[in-house]
Amino acid sequence: MNGRSTFRFLALLIVGILALSGVGLLMMFLNQAATATPTPVPQPSPGPPREQIVATVNGRAISHTLWVESVLLDQVMSGMAGQPAPTPEETLQRLINEALILEAFTSVRSPSPAEIEAHIAAMERSWGVEDSAVVKALQEVGLSRAALERSVGRLLRVQAAIEALRAQGYDEGTWLKGRLAEARVVINTELQQATVFPTPTTLAVAPTPTVLPSPTASPPVVSSPTPAGLAASLPTTAPDFTLERVDGGWFTLTQQLASGPVVLVFFQRCG
């Protein structure tokens, strides 16, 4: 990435974060342009067709599912706001930008459901639409309202991270530029190019069912110190489960989460 494009995308990121403080400007963030150039990586030998990772940022995966969901969400929200939707590539770059910030500020708290709802309600007021209309538009592209809630929650965490950065006395532009220079970003360009989205204009005028190719249509192009992990289809939301404790009783994840965060550790071997 050259210096000019780097500076541009950093500036746009900051503009997007600032926009979050005024909910009516949220779409500016979602519509921001980005010009990062994917880093070509060597083609590994084709493995089992099970990957759904579209990019990694310092070894951390951005799942194909998250990217697809974000692109469709951007299209719906842009349509609501009457603004041009970002391209899928720009949306991916936004996810990369967010990952860089959140990676450095993992201590920022997650917004409460009430805070997320307040922001969604404010957006809907600025768009002049009812919540039911948003839900319908989301459903027409195969998304649930939960996808919108997750996205807003993530953006609010990014906003909190930026505020934490400022509280430490950093200039965010300089800080982010330095982070980017050191970041190891790998984009699965083959999977990216194999994914077809509906055009935003079609979506805004006459919503059509979304037809996406199977994420397993092409072999992965990934590079990481943990290749096995990156070959996985990693969830972004923890699947709930109930299992019997070996010391007696039962463990249900959602019940435990009511008391605080959970560190889930998979042992490879027992015995």
Partner 1 sequence: MQLQQNYQAFLENNAQVVALAVASASAVGGVRQAIGAAYPMLADPDHKVAEAYGVYNLLNDGLAAPSVFVIDTNGDILWSYIGSNPGDRPGIAQILEHLP
Residues of this chain that interact with partner 1 (CB under 8 A) are 60-61, 106-110, 113, 150, 153, 225-241, 243-247, 251, 253-254, 256-271
DSSP code of residue 111 = P
56, containing H or E segment: strand 53-57
Q: How far is the CB of 29 from partner 1 (least distance, A)?
A: 19
**Token code pair at residue 51:** 């990957």
Asked if 78 and 30 touch (Cβ cutoff 8 Å), the reply is: yes
- Nearer of residues 45 and 268 to partner 1, judged by Cβ: 268
Q: Shortest approach of partner 1 to residue 108 CB, angstroms? A: 8
Please list, in sequence order, all residues whose beta carbon lies within 8 angstroms of the beta carbon of residue 270, skipping any fewer than 6 positions away: none
Q: Cβ closer to partner 1: 60 or 177?
A: 60
Cβ at position 171, least distance to partner 1 in Å: 24
Q: Comparing C-alpha atoms, which of 246, 222, 198, 192 is closest to residue 72? A: 198
Q: How far is the CB of 55 from partner 1 (least distance, A)?
A: 15
Strand partners, 186: 56
Contact 93, 34 (CB under 8 A): yes
Give whichever of 21 and 254 is closer to partner 1, judged by the CB atom: 254
Residue 61 or 120 with smaller CB distance to partner 1: 61
